[in-house]
Structure 1
Amino acid sequence: MLLLSVLAAAIAPGVALLAYFYWKDRYDAEPLHVVMKLFLAGVLIVLPVMIIQRGLMLWMGDDSPVAFSFVISAGVEEFVKWFVLFHIIYNHTEFDEPYDGIVYATAISLGFATVENVLYAFTEQATFGMLLSRALLPVSGHALFGVYMGYSLGRAKFSTGRAVKLHLAISLLTPWFVHGLYDFLMQTVPSDWLWVVVPFMVVLWLRGIRSVNRANARSPFRWIKREEEIKF
C-alpha cells in the first residue's frame, strides 16, 4: 500500500501539470493519443539520456558545476528532448496552431520528469515532503523548459524565411540555458538556496504563462471561434 502511495505521489505532479497546459489550449485541443505519444517518448528517452550523461561524466568528470549544469545535465537532456520532439511532431498534421508546440513539448518534458521523479522516490527513499518539493521545483521546472521550447517551436512552425531557423535555434537554446542556470543555482547557492531558487521559479512561471497567452493569441482558430460566437 505504501509502495502504491509513493508511486502515485511521484507520478501525480507530472500528470497534473500536463493536464493544466493541455487545458490552457483555448481554441483547438490536441488529440489525447498524440499527446500521450509524446509523454511516452519522454519516458523512453530517460535511459539513453542516462547512458550519455554517464559517459560524459566518466570523460569530463563532474567536479565543475558549470560543465555539469550546462553540458552533462541541461545540454544532454534538452537536446535529446528537442531532437525527438522535432522529428516526431514538427511536420505532423495535428501541429496546426502555435500553442500546439507548448502542449507537445510539455508532454515530452513531463514524461521525462515523471520517470526521474519515480526513480528519485525509490532510490532515495523519498518522503512525501521531499516529493512535494520536487513537484514545485524540478518537475515544474521541466514543464516550464517545455513551455519555452514549445513556444519557439510554434513560432518556427508558423514563420517564414530566416525566422524559421532563428526560432528553431531559440527553441533549443532557451530551455538549455534556463535549465542549465537552474541546475547551476541548485549546486552553487548555499544552504539558504530557497531565497534564490523560489524567486527564480516565480520568474520562470510568469514568463511561461506569458508565453502560453502569446501562443494562444496567435492561434488561427481564434478568429473562427469569435465568428461562431458572434453568429450564435
Structure 2
Amino acid sequence: MWAWENMVLPENVSQIPFMKKDKDITCCICHQRLDPPYNLLGGRAYCDHHYAVVNRPHPSFWRAALLQLLGMALLAGLVAWLAETFVGPLAGMPLLVASLLLAIVPSALWLIFFYQQDRLEPEPTQKVAAVFLLAALLTDVLGRRIVYDWYQVNLWAPTDTLTSLLASILIIAVAAQLIIYVAMRVLVYDSPEFDERMDGIIYGTVAGLGVATVTNLHFVLGSGGVALGPGVIQTVTTALAQASFGGLQGWFMAEARFEHKPVWWVPLGFLIAVVSNGVFSWLIGEVSATGLQVEAWRSLLFGMLVAIFAFLLLAGLMQRSHAVTLRR
C-alpha cells in the first residue's frame, strides 16, 4: 500500500501543490485508482460505489428496530408473567435448559433481526458470527477474570453507593466496552466489508450481544435456580443494554473509519460508552430495588427506555451525517 493512499485530502485536491499528477489517489475502502473529479468525504477519497454506500440512509431499519425493542420488551413481560403464574424455580436439568434459552434467545432474536434488515448489502454471515463469538469468548476468558478474579468486584463493590458506581464504570463497563472494541478492531474494522457507517452500529451491536450472552449465561447458571420471571427480564435487559452501548461505540469507530477525525475521537466514543454502560448497570439495580425487595419489572421498563433512547440517538446521528454529506 502506498503512503498516500490513506492521507487526508482537502476538499479540493488541486490545493496540494506538491501532489504530482501522475500519482494515484485511491478509494480508502477498496483502494481502486480514482480519476478526477474525486468523491471526497471528511478528507478521504472514495470510488463512486463506496461514496454512495458509506452514507446510505436506513429509515426502515430504525423503524423496525424500535418495533423490535418494543416486541422484545412485551415478549419478556409476557414470558415473565406466565412463568411467575404457572412455573416456579427450577433445578437440575430443567434449570440448565432454561438457562441456555434465557441466555441465548434475546441475542438470537437481535441477530435474526439484523440479518433480515441488512438486505441491501448484507454483512457476511461469517464476519457477524466471528465478531459475536470473539466477544463472547473474550467475555468468558478475560472479562470475567478481570472483574471477578483480578479485582474481585463482588466482594467490595457493594460497600457503599459511590464505590458501587465507580466499580460499575471503571471496571465492569471498561472491560465490556474494551471487549467490544477489540472484537471489532481485530476482525472487521479494516476489512472491505466495513464500507458504510451503519456497519459500525451493526458490528458494535453484535459484539455487545456476545458480551450479553455470556453475562446472561453465567448469571442464570450462577443463581442456582433463578425464578424464570425475574430471570427473563434480567437477560432481556442485559441484551438491550449491551446492544445499545455496543452500537454507540461502533458509530464512533465508523466515523473515524470513513472520515478524518482527531486522535481523541475513538477514545472519546469509548469513554462515553463506558460511562453510559457503567451508570446504566448501576442504576438498573437502584431502579429495580424497592426497600429490601427487587422489582424486576422496573428494570425491564428502564432498560427498554434506555435502549429506545440510544437507538433514536444513533438514528439522529446517522441522519445528521447523511445531511452533512449531501451538503458537500
TM-score (norm 1): 0.80
8 Å CA contact 1:156–1:166 kept in 2: the answer is: no
Cα shift at 1:147: 1.2
How far apart are 1:218 and its partner, in Å?
5.7
Distance 1:18 1:174, change over 3 A: farther
Secondary structure in 2 matching 1:139: helix
Residue 151 of structure 1 and its aligned partner are, at CA, apart by 1.4
The answer to whether the 8 Å contact 2:201/2:246 transfers is yes
Q: 1:32, 1:169 → 2: CA distance? A: 28
Secondary structure of 2:178's counterpart equals: helix
Q: CA deviation at 1:50?
A: 1.2
Task: Confirm whether residue 204 of structure 1 aligns to residue 307 of structure 2.
Answer: yes
1:56 aligns with 2:154: no
The residue that corresponds to 2:198 in the other structure is: 99
| Secondary structure of the corresponding residue to residue 93 of structure 1 | coil
Q: Which of residues 151, 157, 165 is equivalent to 2:251? A: 151
Q: Which amino acid aligns with 2:219?
A: Y
- After TM superposition, the structure 1 = structure 2 runs for residues 66-215 of structure 1, keeping only pairs within 5 Å, are 66-124=165-223, 125-162=225-262, 165-189=263-287, 191-192=289-290, 198-199=301-302, 201-212=304-315, 214-215=317-318
Question: Whose Rg is larger?
Answer: 2
Q: Is the 8 A contact 1:39 1:107 kept in 2?
A: yes
Once the two structures are TM-superposed, the CA of residue 190 in structure 1 deviates from its matched residue by 6.9
Contact kept? 2:135, 2:179, Cα under 8 Å: no
Q: What's the C-alpha RMSD, in Å, of the aligned pairs?
A: 2.8
2-side partners of 1:185 and 1:141: how far apart?
12
Residues 216/45 of structure 1: CA separation in 2 closer, same or farther (3 Å cut)? farther
Q: Distance in 2 between matches of 1:90 and 1:33?
A: 14
**Deviation of the 1:213 alpha carbon:** 6.4
Normalization by structure 2: what TM-score? 0.59
Letter in 1 for 2:185: F
Indicate the structure with greater helix content. Answer: 1
8 A contact 1:78–1:176 mirrored in 2:
yes
CA distance in 1, matches of 2:206, 2:132: 5
Q: In the aligned structure 1, how far is the partner of 2:279 from the partner of 2:178?
A: 16
Percent identity between the two aligned chains: 23
User: 1 CA distance for matches of 2:255 and 2:193?
Assistant: 15
User: 1:186/1:196 Cα in 2 relative to 1: closer, same or farther (>3 Å)?
Assistant: closer
Q: Which deviations, in whole Å up to 9, do the C-alpha atoms of 1:31-78 show, x marking residues without a partner?
A: 1110000010011112211111221237x9423112211112112221
Q: Which amino acid aligns with 1:152?
A: F
Higher RCO (Cα < 8 Å, 6 or more apart): 1
In structure 2, how many angstroms separate the alpha carbons of the residues matched to 1:29 and 1:48? 30
CA contact (8 A) 2:198 2:251 kept: yes
Is the strand fraction higher in 1 or 2? 2
Are the structure 2 counterparts of residues 204 and 5 from structure 1 closer, same or farther at C-alpha, using a change threshold of 3 Å? closer
The 1:78/1:150 distance shift into structure 2, 3 A limit, reads same
Provide closer, same or farther for how the CA distance between residues 39 and 27 of structure 1 changes in structure 2, counting only shifts above 3 A. same
